[in-house]
């Protein structure tokens, strides 16, 4: 495995040195990716304590198409972390591997008290299509979500919407087959292994277009639980309307577990865009907590948020063709969890962007509504 990764990295360096927007060899090989540098400042509730860290993040995507219907693809995620956050987080390097990965295709090159250099093979699959059938085997993303913030239908590789620096989102070690019935309908089946006993995932999805909506129905087994669900995406007048629902049957009783999300979006005059969504997690928290550690924001397909009811509103505006602003606010009734999510985006050049992100967390604890922490991020991204 180490030899394979070293080979990929050598290819990456040689390609990057000469890359412009991308590298391509018609009909055969294409390479693209990015390099990002992100500075992070973490503050305690009253801004009295500061922890700083830095992340140098590179992604390299390689696709080879030797014949018309066959593609081999691999994507590498190379990251170097250093600073106080690494030093103060026990087992920092052990947290970097994706939970969905069965095969260990990661390499920790350096693990020091305040420095970690890590590589992970994020995608490694073969894709073959003939006629109405498409087959993909290997580490891949199986994206069954239809909504923006939360995706109950995305049972194979759920992502955390707070992790804004992971645009590609996690993948799964899986096999997938898709059959296109006609232009309005197709069926897809997938099986993923996690490396943990009784935690494999197998499901099928029917996707169709009806009544002006994209509709999907899902049924399968998620980690030994039978699950069924569905989703929709369309419009009501000029506003977008989407939703997903997923139900997990319990092995112990008939109570089960439900995740339901609905959202709408609209583009106003003068370029204002607004998106509003709600999430129900039937097993979520419904009362204020005694400490911040109880509100666990590490999510899974069964728990997209730790709280039962969640409401999010996001608005964005393009101030100029190169500069835009976004502001989001999430509120969870019952626990009185509140998260502010403003950001700024500026395009310095065609393939060079700078972003500023902010996250502030508040919650009611011990009958007092107060801040729990704040994080600021400055990111520069160069794409090739």
Helix or strand run (H / E) with residue 88:
helix 84-88
Is pLDDT above 70 for 253?
no
What is the pLDDT, as a whole number, of residue 39?
A: 97
pLDDT tens digits along 198-240: 789 999 999 999 999 999 999 999 988 899 999 999 999 999 9
Identify the pLDDT of residue 9.
43
Q: What is the mean pLDDT of residues 339-344?
A: 98
pLDDT at 259 over 70: yes
Q: Which of 24-28, 257-261, 263-267, 362-366 has the lowest mean pLDDT?
A: 24-28
Residue 49, classified by CB atoms within 10 Å of its CB into exposed (0-12), middle (13-18) or buried (19+), is: exposed
Residues near 229 by beta carbon (within 8 Å), at least 6 away in sequence: 152, 153, 155, 217, 218, 219, 244, 245, 246, 247
Q: Which domains does the chain have, with CATH numbers?
A: 2-383 (2.40.160.10)
pLDDT score of 16: 42
Q: Which residues pair with 191 in a beta bridge?
A: 175, 202
Whether the CB-CB separation of 57 and 78 falls below 8 Å is answered with yes
pTM of full prediction above 0.75: yes
Q: Which of 15-19, 117-121, 338-342 has the lowest mean pLDDT?
A: 15-19
**pLDDT level of residue 366 (50, 70, 90 thresholds):** confident
- Does 360 have pLDDT greater than 50? yes
pLDDT digits (tens, 9 = 90+) for 299-325: 888 899 999 999 999 999 999 999 999
Please report the pLDDT score of residue 254 as a whole number: 63
């Amino acid at each position: 495995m180490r030899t394979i990764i070293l080979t990929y990295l050598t290819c990456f360096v040689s390609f990057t040195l000469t890359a412009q927007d991308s590298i391509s060899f018609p009909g055969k090989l294409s390479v693209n990716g990015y390099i990002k540098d992100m500075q992070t400042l973490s503050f305690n509730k009253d801004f009295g304590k500061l922890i700083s860290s830095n992340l140098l993040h590179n992604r390299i995507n390689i696709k080879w198409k030797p014949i018309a219907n066959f593609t081999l693809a691999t994507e590498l995620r190379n990251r170097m972390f250093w600073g106080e956050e690494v030093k103060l987080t026990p087992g920092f390097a052990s947290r970097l591997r994706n939970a969905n990965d069965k095969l260990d295709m990661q390499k920790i090159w350096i693990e020091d008290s305040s420095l970690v250099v890590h590589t992970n093979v994020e995608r490694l699959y073969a894709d073959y299509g003939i006629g109405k059938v498409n087959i993909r085997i290997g580490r891949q993303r199986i994206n069954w979500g239809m909504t923006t913030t939360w995706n109950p239908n995305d049972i194979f590789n759920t992502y955390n919407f707070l992790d804004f620096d992971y645009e590609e989102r996690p993948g799964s070690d899986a096999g997938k087959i898709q059959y296109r019935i006609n232009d309005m309908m197709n069926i897809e089946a997938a099986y993923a292994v996690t490396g943990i006993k009784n935690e494999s995932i197998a499901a099928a999805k029917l996707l169709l277009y009806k009544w002006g909506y994209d509709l999907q129905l899902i049924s399968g087994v998620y980690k030994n639980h039978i699950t069924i669900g569905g989703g929709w995406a369309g419009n009501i007048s000029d506003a977008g309307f989407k939703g997903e629902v997923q139900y997990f049957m319990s092995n112990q009783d008939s109570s089960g577990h439900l995740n339901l999300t609905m959202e709408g979006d609209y583009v106003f005059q003068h370029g204002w865009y607004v998106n509003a969504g709600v999430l129900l997690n039937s097993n979520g928290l419904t009362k204020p907590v005694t400490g911040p550690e109880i509100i666990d924001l590490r999510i899974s397909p069964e728990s997209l948020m730790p709280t039962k009811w969640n409401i999010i509103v996001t608005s964005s505006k393009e101030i100029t063709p190169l500069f835009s602003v976004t502001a989001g606010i999430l509120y969870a009734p019952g626990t009185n969890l509140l998260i502010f999510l403003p950001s700024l985006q500026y395009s310095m050049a065609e393939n060079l962007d700078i972003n500023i992100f902010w996250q502030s967390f508040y919650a009611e604890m011990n009958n007092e509504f107060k801040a729990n922490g704040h994080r600021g991020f400055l990111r520069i991204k160069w794409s090739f």
